[in-house]
């Protein structure tokens, strides 16, 4: 078995891009006003011909403190609340799991209508596994879900950008980080952690962001380490997303966004959500 110290050392030494967002950036600091004020004063000092003119000009500079803070970004209107969006996913999965999926191919008129824009009601951060297609298991159609999929349900910087885009510019009120039973990517991470398995190049990079969840799951001494690691992994990704970007953090604080993890059972077709 690979020791915890070895694994953590490897993680620290290989700062994969996929891990970068996990550290969290938090909301951007309001530094624009300060910079603007300094630039204005410096420019006046440089251009003024004499002290009197300089004093007069400086007196006209609006104090930084007097400037009103920029209004909060409005973003597109939300068609549904986070809880309503979650309800739609639960209802859609219930339909799927009892074998009554109502999905039909969209009409040509509907396809043309979607060309004018999109307003997905949820972002699904899922695994690439061919058995866990989000539109199918949630009984959804074109234009309803914004899907970011990588084997192991992890999020790279590019993935984070995709998520922020969906929330900020498309108005999606819900992010679901979805794992699933018997996930091959998480299984590979478990093998690396417990059996000295070696993966080459991109495969190794793919499982690196999953290793901390495997270590956390090991600490719980579960009877099924793979299953525990899958659940811990999506829980961790959802938690990190809450602090990974200022836009997401702000919408969370305004209750205009919800981020949850979920687990798909390959055998029953049922998705179990965690708050």
Q: 97: Cβ–Cβ under 8 A, 6 or more apart, which residues?
A: 268, 269, 270, 271
Tokens 């299953």 correspond to: 227
Residue 137 or 167: the one with the smaller Cβ distance to Zn ion is: 137
Cβ proximity to Zn ion, 189 vs 249, nearer residue: 189
Closer CB to Zn ion, 128 or 253, in the complex: 128
Q: What is the dihedral of CA 134, 138, 143, 147, to 10 degrees?
A: -30
Helix (H, G, I), strand (E, B) or coil at 9: helix
Q: Which is nearer to Zn ion, 183 or 193 (CB)?
A: 183
Binding window for Zn ion (CB under 5 A); candidates: 3-11, 56-64, 82-90, 126-134: 126-134
Indicate if the alpha-carbon torsion angle 236, 124, 251, 36 is positive or negative.
positive
When asked if residue 228 is in the footprint of Zn ion (CB under 5 A), the reply is no
Structure tokens at 165: 């885009």
Under the binding rule (CB under 5 A), the answer on residue 144 touching Zn ion is no
User: Given the complex with Zn ion, which of 85 and 186 has the nearer CB atom?
Assistant: 186
Q: Under rule CB under 5 A, which residues in 179-208 are in contact with Zn ion?
A: 183
Q: Which two tokens stand for residue 237?
A: 């990704």
- Give the pair of three-digit tokens for residue 109: 């008129």
Binding residues for Zn ion, rule CB under 5 A, total 3
Q: How far is the CB of 213 from Zn ion (least distance, A)?
A: 13
Residue 124 or residue 248: which is nearer to Zn ion going by CB? Answer: 124
- Which phi and psi (to 5°) does residue 98 adopt? -100, 15
Q: How far is the CB of 179 from Zn ion (least distance, A)?
A: 7
Query: Among the candidate windows 53-61, 178-186, 191-199, 260-268, which touches Zn ion by CB under 5 A?
Result: 178-186
Two structure tokens written together for 13 = 């030494």
For residues 173 and 181, what is the distance between their CA atoms, to the nearest angstrom?
Answer: 26
Residue choice 129, 218, 236, 245 for contact with Zn ion (CB under 5 A): 129
Name the segment binding Zn ion (CB under 5 A); options: 1-9, 21-29, 108-116, 124-132.
124-132
Scanning residues 43 to 62, which ones bind Zn ion (CB under 5 A)?
A: none
* Residue 127 engages Zn ion in binding (rule: CB under 5 A): yes
Residue 63 DSSP class: P
CB 221 within 8 A of CB 239: no
Contact residues for Zn ion (CB under 5 A)? 127, 129, 183
């Amino acid at each position: 078995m690979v020791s915890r110290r070895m694994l953590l050392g490897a993680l620290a030494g290989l700062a994969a891009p996929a891990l970068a967002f996990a550290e969290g950036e938090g909301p951007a600091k309001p530094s624009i006003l300060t910079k603007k004020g300094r630039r204005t004063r410096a420019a006046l000092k440089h251009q003024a011909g004499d002290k009197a003119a300089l004093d007069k000009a400086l007196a006209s500079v609006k104090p930084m403190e007097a400037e009103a803070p920029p209004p909060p970004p409005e973003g597109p209107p939300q068609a549904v609340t986070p809880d309503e969006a979650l309800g739609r996913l639960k209802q859609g999965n219930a339909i799927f799991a009892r074998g009554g999926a109502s999905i039909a191919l969209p009409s040509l008129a509907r396809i043309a209508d979607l060309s004018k824009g999109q307003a997905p009601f949820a972002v699904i951060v899922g695994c690439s596994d061919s058995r866990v297609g989000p539109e199918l298991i949630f009984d959804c159609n074109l234009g309803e879900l914004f899907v970011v999929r990588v084997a192991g349900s992890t999020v790279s910087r590019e993935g984070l950008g995709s998520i922020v885009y969906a929330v900020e510019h498309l108005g999606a009120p819900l992010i679901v980080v979805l794992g699933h039973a018997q996930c091959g990517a998480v299984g590979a991470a478990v093998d690396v952690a417990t059996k000295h398995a070696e993966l080459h190049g991109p495969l190794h990079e793919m499982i690196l962001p999953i290793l901390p969840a495997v270590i956390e799951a090991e600490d719980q001494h579960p009877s099924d380490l793979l299953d525990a690691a899958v659940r811990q992994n999506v829980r961790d990704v959802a938690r990190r997303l809450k602090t990974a970007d200022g836009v997401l953090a702000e919408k969370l604080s305004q209750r205009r966004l919800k981020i949850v993890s979920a687990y798909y059972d390959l055998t029953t077709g049922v998705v179990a959500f965690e708050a």
